Amino acid sequence: MGLLDRHVRFVAALRAAGLPVSVAEGLDAARAAGVVDLAARETLREAYAATLVKRAAHRPAFDTLFDLWFPPVVGASQAADGMDLDHAEVPELRERLAGLLMAGAATAGDPEFAAFARAMVERFGRQPAAAGRQAWFSYPVLRALSPGTLMAGMLRDVLAGQERGGAAEKVARRRLEDALAAFEEAVAADVRRRIAEESGIEKIARSAVRPPPEQVDFLRAAKADLAALRREVHPLARRLATRLTVKHKTGRRGRLDFRRTVRASLATGGVPLTTHTRPRRPHKPELVVLCDASDSVAAFSQFTLLLTYALREQFAKVRAFAFVDTVDEITRFFAPGADVADAVTRMTREADISRFGRSDYGHAFERFAGRYGEAVGPKTSLLILGDARTNHRPPALATVRDLAERARHAYWLNPEPRAQWDTGDSVASAYGGVVEMVECRNVAQLAAFIEDL
Amino acid sequence: MGSWFASPADARERLGAAGYLAGDGVATPVFLAAALEKPLLVEGPAGVGKTQLAKAVAEVCGAELIRLQCYEGLDEARALYEWNYKKQLLRIQATGDQGWEETQQDIFGEEFLLERPLLRAIRRDAPAVLLIDEVDKADVEVEGLLLEILSDYQVTIPELGTITAVRRPYVVLTSNATRELSEALKRRCLYLHLGYPTPERERDIVLAQVPGIEAALAERLAGTVAVLRALELKKSPSIAETVDWARTLVALGRAELDEATTAGTLGVVLKHASDQARAAKELGLPTA
């Protein structure tokens, strides 16, 4: 494969993995590759990254694909001190691994560390497959070396006599855990490289890359994804706050500020060349968030609570309500400065949102209108978050319509794909008829919703 | 441009000599921005050295740093150019009987033009680093204004015509990512995400910035800060705060970071009460 061909197919693979790479950016990357030293692989990687990756969240996917398309040149698997990695006993290898991890070789990008990982894959990762082919796996490598069990010994060595259990141990443990994760990643990367050599890059590329966080489905988000989502949500809440404010700032200028205008005119001989105006009083949007906290949308409600928390910090007046089959105000748990994880646990323990544990939108809305109806007024933006699955209970459409009409804006964000609306017990269209309903399955769609406001 | 950097390694070395420790990930985009004559968009959390990077580039290349600080409501008059009304008015009053044509030609000349950072960066014939700071704080319209300047290095002033850069400035844009920048702007820029450094690099930064600190203490500090950053705090400590912390400890004459010292000085790096409580719990510190 020529360099140009490799470049073109690499860019195509990035696009296939969900990275928005334009034609112009592809050209920039090619130009960048022309001015750096192609033999220095890390420089080439950074040159490609600078031209092709425009969001930090896309970087892991980029790195995985780069390793596949521009694999490292593999040298002999001989350690620096002459240790024979192919035949050494397992305890020796474990000792070597512990040494490398403690020296911080993993995070510092030490070539010896990479060579060690490669040698271990070579030795333990091979599994015979059909007809003269071989398969590669990282699991047997990690089983053979079981790096996790090295922790206790390494901690003892690193701390070397300092007292245990305190801050010093936390710090050391953290460093070693990072190093361990780096080892596991190095093994996985080398396994991917070998699979790519065996059966073609495109084949492995499709399964090796996880979707970028802004396209992760809220309803299917795994625990690791949630942490990434959390980082994406905060700036979005700030944007939502600005969007709702800016919308009412139509026309930059307010009333003429006579005093300032006259004072400024002194400098120009009494001719009022520049007029000064009083800044408009900024519109303080009030937000009422109603979110479904039932189990069917557990991952989504995790996210909505994060959003609520982030919004709470941005808006002067936010009132948040959560419901399952009855509703309670949860604003108090999300006071500015509160810890979000604490707030969520306290909320699930203390808030009165569930009687039978199955969502009942109708009852929840009736209760809301009855107990907190006064929260929604002509200055309020009403945001409802939920999948509109009522468990076949009456939906209380009239109440929702009444709430929506009283509010300045009302939006409903639904985490289900549009194709599944109205299937089963979903009454999405019925609610959609009274409140504007938007499909909001991932951060990308949430961002688009905010942009369109 | 020529005079900027010869290679990524050169960029790393020269930045390092000026006290800015850059890895491959930083040095390569910095080199490319000059080699490809493209603006460099630097994104990342507050306090990781985005603005500092622009300053360091200006310093090591002997270029003037021209800074445009963005804020909400920034407009063309503040960013690009403005006519000096007062002077124009004086000119009109001073030449009572001159004809309209002549006066008009007079008052829209160089003499009455007030250049703002963007125009200044374009018209300068000596090397310049144009720093457009916190571009995410500016309104969307400003991005539109930047597009012409950043892609063609030229601006159009109705009375004077199009002004093209004599010598292209080295442009650095910084953003805290509070707002998503437009695709059009991102497409024109090289992108560099400056994240928190590895503990090893942070130790080196502390050693370089704080004279008289013990290596062991710097290492321990960097490790502790790494643990704090993993805690999902409201405001993670930045590099600047790590350095502050190191300075604090040196000033207090502490050679070691034990639990009591950490608890006593935690306020230097964590600025929210809830963050401090959380860190104290996680690190097992005695509560004050």
**Token code pair at residue A305:** 């609570």
Closest partner residue to A171 (CB to CB) among B38, B178, B220 is B220
From A20, A28, A268, residue closest to B36, measured CB to CB: A28
* Angstrom distances, CA of residue A111 to CA of A46, A79, A80, A125, B235: 18, 10, 10, 20, 35
Give the pLDDT confidence score for residue B244 in this predicted structure.
92
Preferred mutation among B36, B75, B87, B114 to probe A, highest tally of A CBs within 10 A:
B36
Would you say residue B167 has pLDDT above 90?
A: no
Cα–Cα distance for residue pair B259/B268, rounded to 1 Å:
15
* Mean pLDDT, residues B40-66 taken together: 92
How much is the pLDDT for B1? Answer: 43
Average pLDDT over residues A119-141: 79
Residue to substitute from B24, B150, B186, B270, interface A, most A β-carbons within 10 A = B24
ipTM of the complex: 0.87
- What's the gap in Å between the CA of B89 and the closest CA on chain A? 7
For chain A, the residue count is 453
Least confident of A37-46, A205-214, B195-204: A205-214
Are A172 and B223 a contacting pair at CB < 8 A? yes
Does the pTM of the predicted model rise above 0.80?
no
The closest of A175, A222, A185, A346 to B229, measured between CA atoms, is A175
**Set of chain A residues whose Cβ sits within 8 Å of the Cβ of B179:** 235, 238-239, 242
What's the pLDDT tens digit per position in A379-411?
888 888 888 888 888 888 888 899 888 888 888
Residue to mutate among A46, A223, A306, with most B CBs inside 10 A, is A46
User: Is the confidence at residue B239, as pLDDT, over 80?
Assistant: yes
Selection from A327-331, B22-26, B119-123 with the highest mean pLDDT: B119-123
Specify the higher pLDDT residue, A359 or A29.
Answer: A29
CB contact under 8 A, A274 and B85: yes
A175 to B226: CB separation less than 8 angstroms, yes or no: yes
| pLDDT tens, position by position, A148-159 | 788 888 888 877
| pLDDT of res. A299 | 67
In the predicted model, is pLDDT for residue B216 greater than 50?
yes
Asked if A35 and B32 come within 8 Å (Cβ–Cβ), the reply is: yes
How far apart, in Å, do the first and last CA atoms of chain B sit? 57
Asked if B191's CB is within 8 angstroms of A54's CB, the reply is: yes
Structure confidence at residue B32 (pLDDT): 93
CB contact under 8 A, A22 and B272: no
Domain chopping of chain A, boundaries: 3-69, 90-210, 225-246+283-452
With beta carbons under 8 A apart, name residues in chain B contacting A42. 24
pLDDT of A304 higher than 80: no
What percent of chain A shows pLDDT beyond 70? 83
**Tokens, residue B274:** 């809830």
* A7-21, A345-359, A392-406: range with lowest mean pLDDT: A345-359
By the 8 A CB rule, do A301 and A342 touch?
A: no
What pLDDT is recorded for position B2?
Answer: 44
**Count helices and strands in chain B by DSSP H and E runs:** 14, 9
Which helix (H) or strand (E) is A41 found in, with range?
A: helix A41-52
pLDDT digits (tens, 9 = 90+) for A247-274: 544 455 667 888 888 888 888 878 888 7
A341-350, B132-141, B236-245: the lowest-pLDDT one:
A341-350
Q: Which of B41, B178, B284 shows the shortest C-beta gap to A166?
A: B284
Q: Tell me the pLDDT tens digit for each residue of A219-234.
A: 776 666 766 777 777 7
pLDDT tens by residue, B12-43: 999 998 888 888 889 999 999 999 999 999 99
The residue-averaged pLDDT of B147-163 equals 85
Q: Over 60: is that where the pLDDT of A17 sits?
A: yes
Chain A residues touching B221 at Cβ < 8 A: none
Tell me which chain A residues have a C-beta less than 8 angstroms from the C-beta of B177: 235
pLDDT, position A246 = 56
**Token reading at A407:** 């509010």
Mean pLDDT of B262-281: 86
Confidence category of residue B172, pLDDT binned at 50, 70, 90: very high
- Homologous superfamily of the A225-246+283-452 domain (CATH): von Willebrand factor, type A domain (3.40.50.410)
Instruction: Judge whether residue A282 has pLDDT over 70.
Output: no
Question: What average pLDDT does chain A have?
Answer: 80
A171 CB neighbours in chain B (<8 A) are 220, 223-224, 226-227
Size of interface A-B (CB pairs under 8 A): 129
Q: Which two tokens stand for residue A274?
A: 């520049």
More confident of the two residues A417 and B67: B67
Contacts of A47 in chain B (CB under 8 A): 28-29, 32
pLDDT tens-digit readout, B76-104: 888 888 888 888 888 888 877 777 788 77
